[in-house]
Amino acid sequence: MDTQSKLDILSRDAQYDLSCACGTKNPQEHRKRSNSSSGWLYPTTTASGGPGIMLKTLLGNRCTNDCKYCPLRNNQDFRPTALAPKEMASFFYEFQSKRPLIGLFLSSAVLGTPEKTMEMLTDTAKILRRGYNYRGYIHLKIIPGSSKESIDEALRYASAISLNIETPGLDHFSKLSDSKDYEHDILKPLNYIAQQTAKGSRYERVHTSSQFIVGASDELDREILLYSSRMYSELHLGRLYFSAYQRGLGDPAIPGEEITLSEQLSLFPDEVIPTSNTNILTREHRLYQADFLLRKYGFGFDDFLFAKDGNLSLDADPKLVWAQANPQFYPLSVKRASREALLRVPGLGPVYVNRIVKGRREAPISCLEDLRLPSSVLEKARPFLTI
């Protein structure tokens, strides 16, 4: 196959590692765009919050690991495909010179060993940096079980790196894989990455992230968000992502056909039964909303309210749930309330809160309409505000 034919296959297989920044009100919308006919061109959200396109692909799709949620696991029957580092670097550089892209998101199945795979990933980045003098964005996935030396090499050439934590804890992890060691392959590398990218360190500039696979095991939202809050405070990660496990994505052994429910459930222990796709996508969306509250709104883990089953409500966003449970906190004065307090108002995000704080210094506010907020935002916030 030529390079583009390989890329068509490998980028399609990369859909199982979405790592998407869910910023849409419709939790299905990003999924649809990610699986569109544009193939390896992947819609994403930039650091400033705007839309962008990056080339996202795997280097190879034949994995030696046995992760039960992954169609590319080692016991599946499908045609293996791989790109050589020089081949990938050349294609990307020529393509991005014709169509502006944010950059390259490069991952891979484990091709033989973690070290061999990491060498291929970093060689691609090295060729782009040194051979083509490319100064744009390169995101490299760190392979579970990678050595410190391999991680250092990735840090040398990448703009961003990520290593999926996958589940909140060993108990859940052990239900999904027999070939990976949670402590050695996941936690130790994550801690090493945190040390190497800490403030004041040599690689402070490199953005770090991780990802949970939501719903593949029987983990609870409470557990995911407890881990999330600790990963932000202790590992100082730049971002966490949540990838909803969807049954029926497709069985690589039967191209073009969806795996049956009975086949899908046979992959999991008896106590692990994936929820419906509609619910799991809504659950992913709620986790992203909670994540924004942790990162941008001053919420802590103890602020989240969970249902009796340990999960977030599927019917209302976590901030609204908190507001409804704390009526004594409201209404807030738009003239006097602090920025931190206003961020607790449903409908108001950092942009609108900053506009209110700035506006009330410059002109008197006689009614809520003076805030000049979009009507939909104002109506959502109105019950929680007063003049």
Q: pLDDT of 171-186, one tens digit each?
A: 999 988 888 999 999 9
The model's pLDDT over 93-131, given as tens digits with 9 standing for 90+, comes to: 999 988 888 899 999 988 989 999 999 999 999 999 999
Q: What is the DSSP string of 122-155?
A: HHHHHIIIIIS---SEEEEEPPTT--HHHHHHHH
Does residue 310 lie within any of the structural domains? Answer: no
Does residue 313 lie within any of the structural domains? Answer: no
Residue predicted with more confidence, 11 or 262? 11
The model's pLDDT over 47-67, given as tens digits with 9 standing for 90+, comes to: 555 677 888 888 888 888 877
What is the helix (H) or strand (E) element at residue 52, kind and residue range? strand 51-58
**What is the distance between the alpha carbons of residues 226 and 210, in angstroms, rounded to a whole number?**
14
The model's pLDDT over 201-258, given as tens digits with 9 standing for 90+, comes to: 999 999 999 999 998 889 999 999 999 999 999 999 999 999 888 654 433 333 333 4
The model's pLDDT over 355-368, given as tens digits with 9 standing for 90+, comes to: 999 989 988 889 99
- % the chain with pLDDT above 90: 60
Lowest mean pLDDT among 150-164, 166-180, 190-204: 166-180
- The domain total for the chain is 2
Does residue 89 lie within any of the structural domains? Answer: yes
**What is the distance between the alpha carbons of residues 205 and 138, in angstroms, rounded to a whole number?**
13
pLDDT above 80: residue 142: yes
Whether 352 and 285 share a structural domain = no
How much is the mean pLDDT over the chain?
84
The model's pLDDT over 297-324, given as tens digits with 9 standing for 90+, comes to: 999 999 999 999 999 999 999 999 999 9
Q: What's the CATH code of the domain at 362?
A: 1.10.150.320
Predicted local confidence at residue 273, as pLDDT = 43
Sign of the dihedral defined by the CA atoms of residues 73, 74, 75, 78, in that order: positive
Query: By C-alpha distance, which of 146, 144, 118 is closest to 65?
Result: 144
Q: What's the CATH code of the domain at 68?
A: 3.20.20.70
Predicted local confidence at residue 39, as pLDDT = 62
Does residue 318 lie within any of the structural domains? Answer: no
Q: Which pTM does this prediction carry?
A: 0.84
Whether 232 and 345 share a structural domain = no
The answer to whether 176 and 69 have CB atoms below 8 angstroms apart is yes
Lowest mean pLDDT among 19-28, 239-248, 296-305, 345-354: 19-28
Does residue 312 lie within any of the structural domains? Answer: no
pLDDT above 70: residue 76: no
Range of the domain at 336: 326-386
With cut-offs at 50, 70 and 90, classify the pLDDT of residue 282: very high
Does residue 80 lie within any of the structural domains? Answer: yes
With cut-offs at 50, 70 and 90, classify the pLDDT of residue 262: very low
